[in-house]
Amino acid sequence: MSFTVELIISVLLVIGSVFVLIGSIGLLRLQDLYVRLHAPTKATTVGLGSILVASMIYMTFVQGFFSINELLITLFLVITAPVTAHILAKAAMHNKVKALERTKNMDLMRTAREQLPPEKNQDVK
Amino acid sequence: MLDIAIIFVAISLCIALVLNLWRLLVGPHIVDRILALDTMYINSIALILLHGMYNRTSLYFEAALLIAMLGFVSSVAFAKYLLRGDIIE
Amino acid sequence: MSMLARLVPMPLHSFMLLIVWLMINASLSVGHILLGTLLGIIIPLLCAPLKVPQPSIKKPLKVVSYVLLVIKDIIVANIEVAKLVLGPMNKINPGFIAVPLDLKDNFPITVLASTVTMTPGTVSAEVTKDKAWLYVHVLNMPLDEQELVDVIKQRYESRIKEIFAC
């Protein structure tokens, strides 16, 4: 394996791990549940995608033929991560988890819980 | 160089897993815990793939795929249970 | 022709099953292609009664440009989220907005909600019963809320509308 390929794989791996780490730091540091949902869904998915691309390149060079099956995991995660985030936000709302004090338009949570459209005076803020 | 990179990445993934575990233990609400568990699933997929790269084998790919599928299904099932427990549906 | 249509009720799904089977096994041998074709015929036949009618993709070429746009936005989103996560916590001003939907069917709304979740600083939280509003949680609220609603509507919803031609 040439030096350039090793460099590309290492850089991809390090970028991926940094993003995964940022996702976990965000999970620990951010202040309320709704804000906390943002970090793992975005950062961790892209971090894992980067690690998977690195693994794909590495396996291609180790095995000698194009290794494509890591792409399946990436695709699966990109499809499922938003679904998990959406259903968790939904569960949090219906369980009346409190949002931060400074959250704007907090009264929208009340109508969202009932799956009703926002009331007129709510929308004007 | 690749070996050093793999070890560095493994260390940072383990730190990330410990941070998730911390959130899993302290999480004020049950939804926090589900979110932390879901993130732990994704991090462990990365760790398994890294182990495969370290041993120069693609044997662990199926395990990673299975964890991805089971993790998604179990997170959705937990959230669905929480939804059913309340007024909606 | 009707015989073929009855045998293969979902041609796109059959083709995707074949591709995924070949990707799982990472081979292009004749045996795997035959087995994948068999699975691609049998599984849609078993699943055909479960099918809910969905609008089909009318313009496949637009899908490619849409996917590229979303990938670009995902990368930008991550850098922004990373900056916010590592920065001071007091600077983050979260908020909720309600986006009016022009799309009517389930599948396009699902695509829009997933896109909104993966792109900068927004997570879709709830769809109303009449499928007319999408509630979105925003990580860092800009001063003008209407601007964000317009971005979601023009950047993503109009393109999805073009793809499904509805």
pLDDT digits 0-9 by tens, B31-71: 889 999 999 999 998 899 888 888 888 788 888 888 988 99
The single-letter code of the amino acid at C150 is D
Closest residue to B45, CB basis, from A18, A33, A73: A73
User: What average pLDDT does the segment A54-69 reach?
Assistant: 81
State the ipTM, two decimals: 0.85
Stretch 76-115 of chain A: residues touching chain B, C-beta under 8 Å: 76-77, 80, 83-84, 87-88, 90-92, 94-95, 97, 113-115
Q: How many CB atoms lie within 10 A of CB C24?
A: 16
Name the CA radius of gyration of chain A, rounded.
20
Residues C83 and B40: their CA atoms lie apart, in Å, by 22
Q: Which chain A positions have a beta carbon within 8 Å of B25's beta carbon? A: none
Q: Which chain A residue has its CA at the smallest distance from B4's CA?
A: A10
Are A88 and B79 within 8 A, CB to CB? Answer: yes
Please check whether residue C104 is in contact with residue C160, taking contact to mean a CB–CB distance below 8 angstroms: no
Residues A95 and A92: their CA atoms lie apart, in Å, by 5
User: What average pLDDT does the segment B17-39 reach?
Assistant: 89
Give partners of B (≥3 CB pairs < 8 A). A
* Contact with chain C for residue A98, Cβ under 8 A: no
* Contact with chain A for residue C143, Cβ under 8 A: no
Computed over every residue of chain C, the mean pLDDT equals 82
Residues facing residue C135 across a β-bridge: C98, C126
Give partners of C (≥3 CB pairs < 8 A). A
Please check whether residue A56 is in contact with residue A70, taking contact to mean a CB–CB distance below 8 angstroms: yes
Q: Which chain B positions have a beta carbon within 8 Å of A63's beta carbon? A: 58
Are A90 and B79 within 8 A, CB to CB? Answer: yes
Q: Is a pLDDT exceeding 70 seen at residue A114?
A: yes
Q: How distant is the Cα of C112 from the closest Cα of chain A, in angstroms? A: 11
Please check whether residue A76 is in contact with residue B68, taking contact to mean a CB–CB distance below 8 angstroms: yes
* Contact with chain A for residue B86, Cβ under 8 A: yes
Are C145 and A104 within 8 A, CB to CB? Answer: yes
Summarize pLDDT for A16-44 with one digit per residue, the tens. Answer: 999 999 888 888 888 888 888 888 888 88
Range with the poorest average pLDDT among A61-65, C1-5, C81-85: C1-5
pLDDT, position A124: 44
Test the B interface: residue of A1, A88, A96, A113 with most B CBs within 10 Å = A88
Tokens coding B10:
């493994």
Q: Is a pLDDT exceeding 80 seen at residue A84?
A: yes
pTM: predicted TM-score of the whole model, two decimal places: 0.86
pLDDT, position B14: 93
Give partners of A (≥3 CB pairs < 8 A). B, C
CATH number of B2-85: 1.10.287
Q: Which chain B positions have a beta carbon within 8 Å of A80's beta carbon? A: 68, 72
Computed over every residue of chain A, the mean pLDDT equals 82
pLDDT, position B17: 93
pLDDT interval class at B15 (50, 70, 90): very high
Q: Cα angle at A40 between A37 and A41, to 5 degrees? A: 75
Q: How distant is the Cα of A106 from the closest Cα of chain B, in angstroms? A: 19
Residues across chain C: 166
Summarize pLDDT for C53-103 with one digit per residue, the tens. Answer: 777 777 778 888 888 988 888 888 888 888 888 888 777 888 888 888 888
Sketch the domain layout of chain B as residue ranges: 2-85
Closest residue to B42, CB basis, from A7, A36, A44: A44
* Contact with chain A for residue C132, Cβ under 8 A: yes
* Contact with chain A for residue C82, Cβ under 8 A: yes
Q: Which chain B residue has its CA at the smallest distance from A45's CA?
A: B42
The 8-class DSSP code of residue C89 comes to: G
Residues across chain A: 125
**DSSP strand pairing (C122-127 vs C133-138):** antiparallel
* Cross-sheet strand order for the sheet of C122-127: C95-100, C133-138, C122-127
Q: Which chain A positions have a beta carbon within 8 Å of C141's beta carbon? A: 104
Please check whether residue C23 is in contact with residue C33, taking contact to mean a CB–CB distance below 8 angstroms: no
